[in-house]
Each structure stands twice: as C-alpha cells, then as structure tokens.
Chains A and B, each alone.
Chain A
Amino acid sequence: MNLRRDVFQAIADPTRRAILLLVASQSMTAGSIASNFDTARPTVSKHLQILTECELLTQEQNGREIYYHLNPNKMKEIAEFIEPFRKMWDDRFNKLETVMKKYKSK
C-alpha cells in the first residue's frame, strides 16, 4: 500500500481540497487553478501532480493547454471509504448486544 500517494493522503491537505472544489464546477488549466491561490505556482503544480497521481484529477490535452478534470469515481471512493470501518464497528457492537442479551436471560 503506497500511503504517500493515495487519495486519503491527497485530501488531507486543505489546498488540495480547495483545488478539488474548484475543479468540481468546471475543468480548468493549471494556470487558472493557480490564480485562485496566493501560493506560488510551483506549489500548486505539485498539488496538481499529487491529485493526478492518485487519480482524483485527470488531465486532458486541449491544443496547447492541459485541462484538469475531477474524477467522480475516485471521489466516490472517498465518500465510501469510511463504510468498511463503520461496518466493522457495527458488527462488533451487534455481537456485544447478542452476547449481553444471552447473558441477561441466563
């Protein structure tokens, strides 16, 4: 498991979350994305690289410009990533409930 380049690492950073919000409304070039931030252009490029590497963003060449799109499938994965964790606890608590109901009726 490559932790440095997975989606969860990617969304841990507030600037990268802001970039995702921006691109969610429309595809944008690196330049137009960077113009929304006070941070240096290379920093924004680095964030875009990370978001692209973990497939949250996809690149599309349009003439001389590269446009960044949001990858909705990968975003869905984030929304659902907590579910297995919840399920694990839910199963555990269900078991507790069953055990204690049995204990009570003894």
Chain B
Amino acid sequence: MERKTKINAEDGKQEILITREFDLPLELLFKAYAEAELVEQWMGTKVLKLESKKHGSYQCETTDTHGKVLLRTNGVIHEFSPTRKIIRTFEMENTPYGVQLEIYEFESLNDDTSKLNMRVIYESVAQRDQVLKLPFAYGINMAHNRLQDIASKLNISQ
C-alpha cells in the first residue's frame, strides 16, 4: 500500500516537510483545522482557545485520565485563508524544543480528495532533530499512547 503520509527531513536542514492525501473534500479537510470542536476530536486534546483568523491565537491542553496536565501547547496565527493556507507558530510549553513555524497549504485533488502540504521550520537543526526523535523517547511514547486512549474513549462516548 502506498504511504499516505510522507515525511521529508533532509540532513542538516532545520525544516520538515509533511505531506498527506486525504479521502476528504478540501472544505472538510480545512474545517478540521479551523474549528475547535473538531480539532479536539482528532488531536485528542482539549482546545482552550482557537481564534481562526489573522492575529488570532490558540492554546491546547492534554490531560491524563485523572485530569493531570501532560502537555500544553500554544501559538499565534499569522495567516488564515480558508481552504487555502494557514501560517502559525507552535510551541510545547515547558519543553526545550523551542517555537516552530508551521505553514499549511491545502489543495483540492478532486471532488472527494484533497492534499495537505505542511512545512515546519525549527529554530535550529539540533531542535528539529530532537523533535524528529521524540516518538523514539519512552516518555513521549507513553504520552502519545495516553493520547490515543483518550481519543478512543472520546470516540466511544459519541
């Protein structure tokens, strides 16, 4: 099966390219990024704030089943062009990974499918490499599994 999600991280560069084709019309794909309620469902995180507009900002919080905060993320939105493009920053609070710049480009492939091109630029090559390795690190894996637990529970309760 062809891989739907592709990652391109060239050696020595401080950016990552992520591309993905979706079995979704462009409008629906974009909506998944624009509305707090939908972001909560697929990211498995609580969206404390999401202002989908230029100069807007967002903040998310992930908790474990006991309500203990595992991770808070936030950023500001620099461009918000419906069904076309989002430029925003992203930061994991209280971590050494710095602030990353994220450029999302959405495009329609046909009436039922669409594509997301995501370019993520880090403060340094070292920080990019650390983030790339995150899924390797045990603690983060645990957090991720926890995320999936929460996500699957959300699913059942719907």
> When the two chains form their complex, are residues A89 and B137 in contact, meaning their CB atoms are under 8 A apart?
no
> When the two chains form their complex, are residues B28 and A100 in contact, meaning their CB atoms are under 8 A apart?
yes
> When the two chains form their complex, are residues B5 and A89 in contact, meaning their CB atoms are under 8 A apart?
yes
Rounded to whole angstroms, the CA-CA distance of A85 and B43 in the bound complex is 15
> When the two chains form their complex, are residues B144 and A88 in contact, meaning their CB atoms are under 8 A apart?
yes
B103 part of interface (Cβ distance < 8 Å): no
Task: Type the 1/0 row for B121-152, where 1 means its CB is closer than 8 Å to any CB of A.
Answer: 00001100110111111000000100010010
Sample (13) of A-B pairs whose CB atoms are under 8 Å apart: A1-B137, A8-B132, A85-B132, A89-B5, A92-B42, A93-B4, A93-B116, A95-B151, A96-B22, A96-B42, A100-B38, A100-B42, A103-B31
Least Cβ–Cβ distance between A68 and chain B, in angstroms = 21
Q: How large is the interface on A (under 10, 10 to 19, 20 to 34, 35 or more residues)?
A: 20 to 34
B24 part of interface (Cβ distance < 8 Å): yes
Complex interface: chain B residues within 8 A of A97 (CB): 22-24
Closest to B136 in A: A84
Complex interface: chain B residues within 8 A of A104 (CB): 24, 28
Complex interface: chain A residues within 8 A of B5 (CB): 86, 89-90, 93
> When the two chains form their complex, are residues B148 and A91 in contact, meaning their CB atoms are under 8 A apart?
yes
> When the two chains form their complex, are residues A93 and B22 in contact, meaning their CB atoms are under 8 A apart?
yes
B3 part of interface (Cβ distance < 8 Å): yes
Rounded to whole angstroms, the CA-CA distance of A25 and B129 in the bound complex is 27
Least Cβ–Cβ distance between A76 and chain B, in angstroms = 14
Complex interface: chain B residues within 8 A of A89 (CB): 5, 7, 18, 20
